[in-house]
């Protein structure tokens, strides 16, 4: 961490070393078709942009469910099948968006397994709420495990990794 001239603390990480361009939230997401303009897409960190990038958001979001393990399994299988379809079409942006939806299935289900309300912090006091007693066995934890398995499979896919490097090197 380094301080800036404004007195604020600035975190220096991978993005600052040139290996990852920050996600550009200032693009006109309502009008850009990222299938036609993959050069505008940035991988970003984690799930950044998952609910913005079209047409992928509209193709994947209707199938994203984690309320029960049965719904999570069907959802993760469908999204992973989409990942494979994007891979067959040599559509890196689609692959990355499907990977992000799988990751988001894991993280959201995990959040609800840990905290039934989905909130980690108490709103008035901002204190961390206690973790649910059954955070490992609750059905949302099972849903999280299902999504995590598919996410790890997509993230480790050699073709995905091979497409990711040049996209990030060329476009960020």
Does the N-terminal peptide bond of residue 55 adopt cis geometry, omega within 30 degrees of 0?
Answer: yes
- pTM equals 0.80
The predicted-structure confidence for 133-145, as pLDDT tens digits, reads as follows 666 666 889 999 9
Separation CA 124–CA 104 (nearest Å)? 27
- The pLDDT > 90 percentage for the chain reads 63
Cα 136 to the center of its chain, rounded Å: 22
Work out the widest C-alpha separation in the chain, in whole angstroms.
Answer: 53
Separation CA 87–CA 129 (nearest Å)? 41
């Amino acid at each position: 961490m380094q301080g800036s001239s404004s007195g604020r603390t600035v975190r220096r990480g991978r993005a600052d070393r040139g290996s990852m361009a920050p996600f550009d939230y200032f693009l006109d997401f309502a009008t850009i078709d990222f299938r036609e303009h993959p050069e505008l897409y940035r991988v970003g960190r984690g799930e950044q942009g998952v609910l913005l990038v079209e047409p992928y958001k509209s193709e994947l979001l209707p199938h994203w469910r984690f309320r029960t393990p049965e719904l999570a399994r069907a959802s993760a299988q469908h999204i992973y099948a989409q990942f494979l379809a994007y891979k067959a079409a040599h559509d890196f942006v689609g692959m990355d968006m499907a990977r992000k939806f799988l990751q988001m299935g894991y993280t959201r289900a995990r959040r609800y397994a840990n905290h039934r309300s989905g909130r980690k912090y108490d709103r008035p006091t901002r204190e961390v709420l206690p973790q649910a007693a059954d955070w490992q066995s609750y059905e949302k934890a099972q849903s999280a495990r299902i999504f995590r398995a598919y996410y790890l499979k997509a993230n480790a896919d050699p073709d995905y990794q091979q497409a990711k490097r040049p996209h990030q090197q060329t476009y960020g």
